[in-house]
Amino acid sequence: MIFITAKFPVKPEHANNWADITKDFTETTNAEEGCLFFEWSRSLEDPHTYVLVEAFRDDESGSTHVQSDHFKKATAELPAYLSATPDIINVRVEGWSKLGEMAVD
């Protein structure tokens, strides 16, 4: 699986509307066959930063995503709402495992 985490520094005047601003992109991406998840969270440290956690089944799914019309539209439109270029981590992993240190019986 391709696992991606990105931090999006959103301009303060758009931070409270980020979910609405990215709604179509998020829904369309989550509907992709190879998308395992595409989820936003708001930082507790900085309310102007959103963290995107996403995963795609394989290289082909990731490639299909970045070549899609909705991805191209997002990369053209979303930077206008950002205060800086997002930071990203992109790795290939086997998948989820359990956090044994916090096991629930």
User: pLDDT digits over 26-71, tens only?
Assistant: 999 999 999 999 999 999 999 999 999 999 999 999 999 999 999 9
What is the total count of domains within the chain? 1
- pTM given for the model: 0.93
Q: The domain spanning residue 27 has which CATH number?
A: 3.30.70.100
Residues 27 and 40 sit within 8 Å (Cβ to Cβ): no
Domain that holds residue 80: 2-94
Find the angle CA(2)-CA(26)-CA(5) to the nearest 5 degrees.
35
Assess if residue 88 is contained within a domain.
Answer: yes
Sign of the CA dihedral with 96 first, then 89, 40, and 51 last: positive
Residues 70 and 29 sit within 8 Å (Cβ to Cβ): yes
| The residue type at 17 | N
Q: Give the whole-angstrom CA distance, residue 50 versus residue 24.
A: 16
Q: Over the stretch 30-39, which tens digit does the pLDDT of each residue have?
A: 999 999 999 9
- Quick one: what percent of the chain has pLDDT higher than 90? 98
